[in-house]
Every structure is written in C-alpha cells, then in structure tokens.
Amino acid sequence: MSKVTIDDVADLAGVSIKTVSRVVNREPNVREATRLKVEEAVARLNYRPNLSARNLASHRSHLIVLLYDDPSVYETPSSGYIIRLQQGTLRACRTADYELLIHPCNYRDRKVKSNLTGLIERTRPDGIVIAAPLSNMPQVIKPIAATNTPYVRLSPGTRSSGEFSVGTNDREIAAEMTRYLASLGHERIAYISGHTKHKAVANRLKGYRDGLEQSGLPYAETLVAAGDNSIGSGAACAEALLEDANPPTAIFAANDDMAAGVIRVANRLGIDIPGQLSVAGFDDSSLASQIYPSLTTVRQPLPEMAERAAHALIGSSENGASRNGTDVVPSELKVRESTGRVPN
C-alpha cells in the first residue's frame, strides 16, 4: 500500500509542502503553472491526504454525522426511510470528499446526552444532520448545540430562527392528497394520525383538515383515529373506523405502514381496494410499491433534503458561511392502485 505523503508530492513537483497543501485545498495564490505541476505529481503518485493528519492540524474532521432514531428499538423508522436519508447525505459527502458517520440514537434513553457529547468529542464532526423525529427533541438538540457543532435539522416541524433546517411541505401535500380523494367523489374521508412526537407528522393532520375545508367537506372527529405509526396500529384504527354504521369510503393514513395495516384489515374483511375503499399513505416507503394493491402515497424527497442539509454543513465548514432559515423541498403525490372513485 502506497503511503504517499505530502513530502513525496512536494519533492516530485519541486515545490514546498505548503504549496502542495494549497493546491490540494484549492486555496488561492498559486500560479497556474505551479498548480499544474503539483496536480500532475498528485496524480502520478496517487496521493491522498491523510484525514487524521489533516483534522489534527486544521481542527476540521471532514466528517459529517447523520443522526436518526434507532430503528432497532421499535422497528421505526423504517429501513427505507433511513437508507434514503443515508443516500442523500452520502451523495453530498462524496462530492466534497467528506466521510459519513452514521449514528442511530435512542432518544428515550436517559443517556442520550452523554451519548451525543461523547460522539462529538471523539469524532469532532464538521456537522450533524439530524433526522426527524429527533430533529424536534430538545434532549437531542440541546447537547449538540452546547458543543457548538454546526447542525441542520430535517423536518423539524416548527421553524426556529438563527439556524438552518430543511423541510418539506407536509401540510400542503396532505391537503392536496385530501383534495385528491375528494375529487374522486369521496365525502367520508377518514384520517389515521401518527406519533405526536413527530411534529412534521402532526402537521399532516392540519393539512388533512385544510384539504377537507378546501373541498367543502365537514371535519368530523369520528373520522379521525390515532395510530402510532406501526402497521398494527393502522390495522386497529381501520377496524374501528370500518365497523362504524356509516364507514368511510377513503382512509388516509399519516404513514405507509399504517396504510398497509388498513389494507391488511380490508383484505381480511373481504373489502375490495379500491372498489369499496380507497387507501392512501404517506412516505412512499418500499412497502408502498410492493404490496398489493400498490399504495397511493406521498413521496418525500428525503435524499434531496438530506443532501441539502449535508451540503450546507460542508459549505459552512469550508468557508464559515453558515446559513439560516428553512429550505422547503416539495413532496409529491404518487397515485397508484389503492385509490379510486367512490363506490356508488
């Protein structure tokens, strides 16, 4: 294995190591000819700067941490959710020569704080991307903020000033889905809400109400059931909703897993989807396109959101320019087989 160091490159190029450093770090004040010489030497020797040496000297680690809820605890979030987040973050890291450290973390644990400060002090990441629902938990955010490590929150649910976050249009897209169902003739559209800890998910309920109103449909509490994001809770809510004397003709669940629970119950009860009942989810998890019938849902641009977050972090570590405000990357409706016209 080649242990090419900056000295080797400097020797070959006939310059000082400082100049090599300048070229490698794309700093200004290098004559074009010199730059070319150095770049050629770098290529010839296949030189790669040593991350650790770089970090030690520069107090920058070229490391980004992706923080998300530990799926091993309750099997949520779903693996697809995490993988898409990782993909986006990795994309940003790769183009900028940063590495990604993943850190699933259980917010219910008493030791979250020491867990997080330990991680940060050991690895000194240049930035932390915090996925929902951790992104709106004080016990997660506060220890991180206390270390002065830059971070970006994903779908924090609420806006807060002085920091940067990336979200999507949860509320608007939930309204759009509701209007879409109404446009199919549905008048009794039920809603299964998710975990209230997840603020962005809570916004979907508001969107549902907006959508009803925009469609001239009344809001009825009997048409709203409280799930907890799991398949089982979706099934339980569906049973409760469907045994009503005047059952809904469409059910909109705040995530795909719960929608899958609805489909499961409908299958068991011999209710045809979408003939007798339309079902819509949220997330476009891998499940959504794989189950039968495939699920009409909302696709969140998770990779893009994570990529923007990581990109902002990398930018601020490179040139100190930290952004603030909230970037909104719009979600989109994915209409599939599980929704159709209201039965007549």
Partner DNA sequence: GTGAAAGCGCTAACAC
Partner DNA sequence: GTGTTAGCGCTTTCAC
Our CB check for DNA shows the closer of 42 and 306 to be 42
Contact with DNA (CB under 7 A) among 1, 26, 31, 344: 31
Q: List 283's β-bridge partners, or say none.
A: 299
CA distance 78 to 324: 29
How many Å apart are CA 170 and CA 329, to the nearest integer?
A: 10
137 binds, among DNA, a copy of itself, none (CB under 5 to 8 A by kind): none
Neighbouring-strand partners of residue 252: 191, 280
In the complex with a copy of itself, the residue whose CB is nearer, 51 or 240, is 51
Quick one: which segment of 19-27, 105-113, 205-213, 248-256 binds DNA (CB under 7 A)?
19-27
Rounded distance between C-alpha atoms, residue 181 and residue 217, angstroms:
11
Q: How many residues bind DNA (CB under 7 A)?
A: 31
Nearer to DNA, 22 or 308 (CB): 22
Closest CA to 133 of 215, 201, 83: 201
Q: Which residues 262-291 are close enough to bind a copy of itself by CB under 8 A?
A: 263-264, 267-268, 286-287, 290-291
Residues contacting residue 219 through CB under 8 Å, at least 6 positions apart: 209, 212, 213
CA–CA distance from 27 to each of 95, 231, 296 (Å)?
18, 53, 50
Please report, as residue ranges, which positions from 225 to 244 form the binding site for a copy of itself (by CB under 8 A): 231
The strand pair at 164-167 and 151-154 is best described as parallel
Which range in 43-51, 81-89, 95-103, 147-155 contacts DNA by CB under 7 A?
43-51
Distance separating alpha carbons of residues 228 and 199, to the nearest angstrom? 13
The Cβ of residue 121 has, within 10 Å, a number of other Cβ atoms equal to 10
Size of the site for a copy of itself (CB under 8 A): 54
Residues within window 47-106 making contact with DNA, judged by CB under 7 A: 47-50, 53-54, 56-60
Residue length, the chain? 344
- Residue 29 in the binding site for DNA (CB under 7 A): yes
Nearer to DNA, 46 or 246 (CB): 46
- Count of Cβ atoms closer than 10 Å to residue 245 Cβ: 4
> Which residue number, 86 or 296, has a Cβ lying nearer to a copy of itself?
86
Among a copy of itself, DNA, none, the one that 21 touches (CB under a kind-dependent 5 to 8 A) is: DNA
Residues in contact with a copy of itself by CB under 8 A are 1-2, 46, 48-56, 61, 71-72, 75, 78-80, 82-84, 86-87, 90, 97, 99-102, 104, 117-118, 120-124, 146-149, 231, 257, 260, 263-264, 267-268, 286-287, 290-292
